[in-house]
A and B are shown apart, each in its own frame.
Chain A
């Protein structure tokens, strides 16, 4: 069975997450997340 498998995005040298923005390019929708924790889960 062909199933979707997941990639991982890794970026080094990030000094802070204040301006981090995630946008779903096809839905043209910004993913909302809490910025208070080191482990963040978006919708």
Chain B
């Protein structure tokens, strides 16, 4: 009996440790070859384990009492609840995506600090994944500000978390047009209290308030594949009028059409594009510029600005990725990438990109410390109300490690290369694989030499 009991305890302990190590390896993805071969297998199992909350066995502190409470309450009527269920059921049985035609505005109330605020909601997003997992996201319009916002999104913690605040924060740090930095809030959903990423709707009003961009137009592609292979791209990505817009002037559409196929430097700001590419390439993943993820602002002075809207997180960079512009090949293809490729070959943009790279290196400590600070600020909410705090905390380790790695590679890239100088008779020849403009000085005269060809 005693032996049987010891074996039983040993088996439980072995299973607990093995499962914990599996979660750790899957979420942190350490660079260990044997572990990496195991990850694809566990990726099939993990969603099922997570759905049954096995990960909570490793975050015992989640169950300890804490002082965090909801920020506001969503007061849905029975009819609202029935509507939400029926729309999701219809989408699941019908098209496997939550199409816009199914999303309708419905009136409801928000209770904020005992104030009843009249508001309207509609379901957010196209992917049914969170809904089938028992989570939901909303677009909301309210009569009064709720946590400082009147037109806002509430995105389930299953899809967005403190990382999105950090990504937008970095975009602002680089003086780019980004969506609202946002907040992590707790509110009621599906009979429970849950964490959400709350941020203002990115529309023309928001551009005026935040960026002093008046009469600007936001351009985003409309269609995408039905989620079976290339989720965000489609055969219509190169078609200029395939836009998610109610209306656009003929002049603006013509400008967009020309810009897509041959982006002239009279229609973009090379310093802005340089900063955009620097941050985009630091993340080393093109998710945000593929297909219907790709969002541009057309200003009233006819300049196009891509909106920096990182969502997917960084992708580990290896030496040579920047020289080879591997970023364009780290995800599936879309014609939306072509415009960016054409802009990056502009020497002016290239130089500004490298200048912005240097700025990122100078801000390395600030970036990494901010990542920790933003996490610490919101971790209690994720811990108590998030769908998978183990994943959130281990993902944080993985992402920080990738950021450190990518910043180091950017630093090496900027300061790499050799220069060959040949002095033959009275002819000086210089060829260099360095990345930046070289100032060639002979006596007091300096001439700029750009080693990289336009």
A23, B419: Cα distance in complex, Å: 11
B428 CB-CB contact with A under 8 Å: yes
Question: Using Cβ atoms and an 8 Å threshold, which residues of chain B touch A9?
Answer: 428-432, 438, 440, 447, 449, 451
* Residues of chain B lying within 8 A (CB to CB) of residue A13: 426
A10 contacts B428, CB within 8 Å?
Answer: yes
| Closest residue of A by beta carbon distance from B441 | A21
Tell me if A42 and B436 are in contact (CB < 8 A). no
Return the contact of B418 from the options A1, A26, A27, A41 (Cβ within 8 A). Answer: A41
Q: Identify B427's interface contact among A6, A14, A21, A27, CB under 8 A.
A: A14
Q: Give CA–CA (A13, B433) in the complex, Å.
A: 25
Determine chain A's interface SS by DSSP, over half rule: loop
Q: Which parts of A2-43 form the interface with B (CB within 8 Å)?
A: 2-15, 17, 19-27, 29, 31, 33, 38-43
- Smallest CB–CB gap between A43 and chain B, Å? 7
- Cβ distance B355 to chain A, nearest Cβ, rounded Å: 6
Assembly CA distance A33 to B325 (angstroms):
30
- Indicate if the CB atoms of B436 and A20 lie closer than 8 Å: no
Which residue of chain A has the shortest Cβ distance to B326 in the bound complex?
A1
Q: Which of A10, A14, A31 contacts B442 (CB 8 A)?
A: A14
Instruction: Report A-chain residues with C-beta under 8 Å of the C-beta of B4.
Output: none
Q: How many Å from the CB of B48 to the closest CB on chain A?
A: 39
- Tell me if B450 counts as interface (CB < 8 A to partner A): yes
Given A31-B419, A39-B421, A26–B436 Cβ distance below 8 Å? yes
Neighbour of A31 across the interface among B354, B424, B433, B438, CB < 8 A: B438
Residue-by-residue, is B319-362 near A (CB-CB < 8 Å gives 1, otherwise 0)? 00001110011000000000001001100000100110010000
**In the bound complex, what is the Cα–Cα distance between A13 and B426 (angstroms)?**
5
Q: Please tell me if the beta carbons of A22 and B329 are within 8 angstroms of each other in the complex.
A: no
Chain A residues with CB below 8 A from B418, complex form: 41-43
B228-240 Cβ-contact flags toward A at 8 Å (1 or 0): 0000000000000
Given known contacts A6-B451, A7-B449, A27-B415, is B436 in contact with A17 (CB within 8 Å)?
A: no
B433 adjacent to A39 (CB under 8 Å): no
The answer to the question of B448 belonging to the interface, with a C-beta cut-off of 8 Å to chain A, is: yes
Q: What chain A residues lie within 8 Å of B435 (beta carbons)?
A: 4, 26
**Cβ of A6 and Cβ of B422 under 8 Å apart?**
no
B423 close to A38 (CB less than 8 A): yes
Closest to A20 in B: B442
Judged by a CB distance under 8 angstroms, whether B106 is at the interface is: no
Q: What 17 new A-B contacts, CB under 8 Å, besides A1-B324, A26-B436?
A: A2-B341, A5-B452, A6-B433, A6-B451, A7-B452, A8-B431, A9-B432, A11-B427, A14-B423, A14-B442, A17-B423, A17-B428, A20-B428, A21-B440, A25-B437, A38-B424, A40-B423
The 7 closest A-B pairs by CB, nearest first: A21-B441, A26-B436, A9-B430, A40-B421, A9-B449, A23-B439, A25-B437
Instruction: Show 11 A/B contacts (Cβ-Cβ < 8 Å), sorted by A.
Output: A1-B324, A3-B324, A6-B433, A7-B431, A9-B447, A11-B447, A22-B438, A22-B440, A27-B414, A38-B422, A39-B422
Enumerate chain B interface residues (CB-CB to A < 8 A).
323-325, 328-329, 341, 344-345, 351, 354-355, 358, 414-415, 418-424, 426-443, 447-453
